[in-house]
Amino acid sequence: GAGVSQSPSNKVTEKGKDVELRCDPISGHTALYWYRQSLGQGLEFLIYFQGNSAPDKSGLPSDRFSAERTGGSVSTLTIQRTQQEDSAVYLCASSLAVAGSSYEQYFGPGTRLTVT
Amino acid sequence: KNQVEQSPQSLIILEGKNCTLQCNYTVSPFSNLRWYKQDTGRGPVSLTIMTFSENTKSNGRYTATLDADTKQSSLHITASQLSDSASYICVVRGDTGFQKLVFGTGTRLLVSP
């Protein structure tokens, strides 16, 4: 079946502009995660959605970052007033958050964001 | 602070040779540890998962070990191939009730012909 897809694959934007990144999780996966991977750094957790529960936003670095998940499927990550330090690869993952499962996260290919 | 440290940061080996990558963690409590392979321009893909009671697990030419007492894990790659060139990321899940994971910064492996 289809894996996690993300769009766009690459995004170049000017400092101060807003950007939207999209994630299509694997069908049937109830959990969805956003991560940021900066050059030379490990993946940094941003936000986690699980079913209809309130999302865990504890990883969002500032109020310029927000995310939503509509209909329990597609998610968009929005960065307002982008800064150069926002340049990174943004990875989305989904998993079957079912009791007894291995909770493996399946990752998308990422969106490479460059803020000039 | 929950941390995962990997070594070496990068490694170059000749095709056909073996190598071992290291992962030390301070995540507590501990639930499981995964090794991921991340090819350039792609998302990470899980290679192995190990729980507290498991000492070793193999997936083809990849063998992972876990010492929960010393909080160390290793990933051994046997008879390396050019396609093994990638970043290998150690990821530890703590028993927090959420699905958040602690990621290492990875080891970048280059297998040269």
Q: How many angstroms separate the CA atoms of B103 and A43, rounded?
A: 6
pLDDT of the residue at B96: 62
Q: How many angstroms separate the CA atoms of B108 and B104, rounded?
A: 12
What is each CA distance from A116 to A16, A40, A63, in whole angstroms? 9, 19, 21
Task: Give A2's pLDDT tier (boundaries 50, 70, 90).
Answer: confident
Q: Residue A69 pLDDT more than 60?
A: yes
**Which of B34, B43, B106 lies nearest to residue A42, judging by beta carbons?**
B106
Asked if the C-beta of A110 comes within 8 angstroms of chain B's C-beta atoms, the answer is yes
pLDDT of the residue at A62: 93
B103 vs A43: CB contact, 8 Å cut-off? yes
Q: Residue B99 pLDDT more than 70?
A: no
Q: Residue B2 pLDDT more than 90?
A: no
Peptide bond into A55 cis (omega under 30): no
A78: helix, coil or strand? strand
What is each CA distance from B14 to B33, B58, B62, B80, B85, in whole angstroms? 28, 22, 17, 8, 11
Q: How many angstroms separate the CA atoms of A100 and A45, rounded?
A: 23
pLDDT of the residue at B94: 81
What is each CA distance from A114 to A23, A75, B86, B105, in whole angstroms? 18, 20, 22, 21
Asked if the C-beta of B27 comes within 8 angstroms of chain A's C-beta atoms, the answer is no
Average pLDDT value for chain A: 91
Residue of A nearest to B44 (CA): A107
What is each CA distance from A36 to A21, A87, A111, B88, in whole angstroms? 12, 9, 10, 17
Q: What average pLDDT does this structure show over A100-105? A: 69
pLDDT of the residue at A98: 61
pLDDT of the residue at B26: 93
B105 vs A59: CB contact, 8 Å cut-off? no
A53: helix, coil or strand? coil
B99 vs A33: CB contact, 8 Å cut-off? yes
Q: Smallest CA–CA separation between B108 and chain A, in Å?
A: 10
**Which of A31, A40, A56 lies nearest to residue B105, judging by beta carbons?**
A40
Which residues in chain B are closer than 8 Å to A4, comparing Cβ atoms? 43
B83: helix, coil or strand? helix
Asked if the C-beta of B17 comes within 8 angstroms of chain A's C-beta atoms, the answer is no
pLDDT tens by residue, B16-33: 999 999 999 998 888 889
